[in-house]
């Protein structure tokens, strides 16, 4: 019986020595290396596309020689598309096209332009931006039997806000520092803005403003 106990004690000691180390006569438990996961690197393309609705607000003074006459006003609705690229967190470039739809009784509008887009993220999911660029606007007027067309190229401007709809914060790390801020990441987002298309001070003064709202996708 004594021999059996001695054998068990010897086996136990061997097992302890095989799974532990001794430093200065003291027992030191083995240290396991921490496994650090390698983050997935997200390499987004700095391009986005969007589609939405536009509401137009046209005001025309039919005859400057009679300033007391009321201005002609018209409101129409249509579609707008946009394609853009973010150069960095502060500057982008955007192209737009819009057209009103339906059987308009007074005016139809078609516009396209290219805009510099200064922008700034005010929160993790929110961008504010301006549009400064050059566009071409065409307005067809129909008033009973009379019709006319106004075409003008020139400076156009606007301002708006974008909101990020994504929930991909845990998918990895962005290769560019500004991605993941505001609406500058691979995801869906919303935008709404105001834009001034043209102000023509010719024989008939025409002022055209629009509001656009839509959904966008960043690649």
- Taking the CB of residue 122, how many other CB atoms lie within 10 A of it? 11
Listed as own residue / partner, the contacts of 189-192 with beta carbons closer than 8 Å and 24 or more positions apart are 189/162, 189/163, 189/164, 189/165, 189/215, 189/216, 189/217, 189/218, 190/162, 190/163, 190/165, 190/214, 190/215, 190/216, 191/50, 191/52, 191/160, 191/161, 191/162, 191/163, 191/215, 191/216, 192/160, 192/161
171: CB partners within 8 A, 6+ apart: 40, 42
**175 vs 131, which has greater pLDDT?**
131
Tell me if the pTM is above 0.75: no
Chain segment 124-155, per-residue pLDDT in tens: 789 999 999 999 998 887 766 667 777 888 89
Q: Which residue ranges form the domains of the chain, and what is each CATH number?
A: 41-218 (2.40.160.20)
Instruction: Average the pLDDT over 206-216 and give the result.
Output: 91
**Range of 12-21, 34-43, 93-102 with top mean pLDDT:** 93-102
The pLDDT, as a whole number, for residue 112 is 93
Q: Is the model's pLDDT at 20 over the cut of 70?
A: no
Chain segment 64-95, per-residue pLDDT in tens: 555 555 667 778 899 999 999 988 888 999 99
Q: Rounded distance, CA 189 to CA 70, Å?
A: 41
The pLDDT, as a whole number, for residue 88 is 82
Q: Is the model's pLDDT at 59 over the cut of 70?
A: yes
| pLDDT range class, residue 214, cuts 50, 70, 90 | very high
79: CB partners within 8 A, 6+ apart: 51, 52, 53, 54, 98, 99, 101
């Amino acid at each position: 019986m004594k021999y059996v106990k001695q054998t068990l004690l010897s086996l136990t000691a061997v097992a302890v020595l095989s799974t532990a180390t001794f430093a200065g006569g003291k027992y030191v438990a083995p240290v396991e290396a921490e496994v650090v996961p390698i983050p997935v690197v997200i390499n987004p393309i700095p391009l986005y596309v969007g589609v939405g609705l536009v509401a137009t607000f046209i005001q025309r003074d039919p005859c400057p020689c009679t300033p007391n006459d009321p201005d002609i006003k018209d409101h129409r609705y249509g579609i707008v598309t946009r394609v853009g690229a973010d150069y960095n967190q502060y500057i982008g470039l955007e192209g737009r096209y819009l057209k009103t739809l339906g059987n308009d009784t007074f005016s139809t509008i078609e516009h396209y332009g290219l805009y510099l887009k200064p922008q700034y993220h005010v929160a993790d999911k929110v961008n504010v931006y301006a549009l400064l660029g050059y566009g071409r606007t065409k307005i067809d007027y129909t008033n009973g039997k009379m019709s006319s067309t106004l075409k003008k190229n020139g400076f156009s401007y606007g301002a708006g806000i974008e909101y990020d709809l994504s929930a991909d914060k845990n998918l990895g790390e962005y290769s560019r520092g500004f991605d993941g801020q505001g609406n500058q990441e691979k995801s869906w987002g919303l935008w709404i803005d105001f834009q001034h298309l043209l102000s023509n001070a010719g024989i008939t003064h025409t002022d055209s403003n629009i509001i656009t709202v839509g959904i966008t996708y960043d690649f």
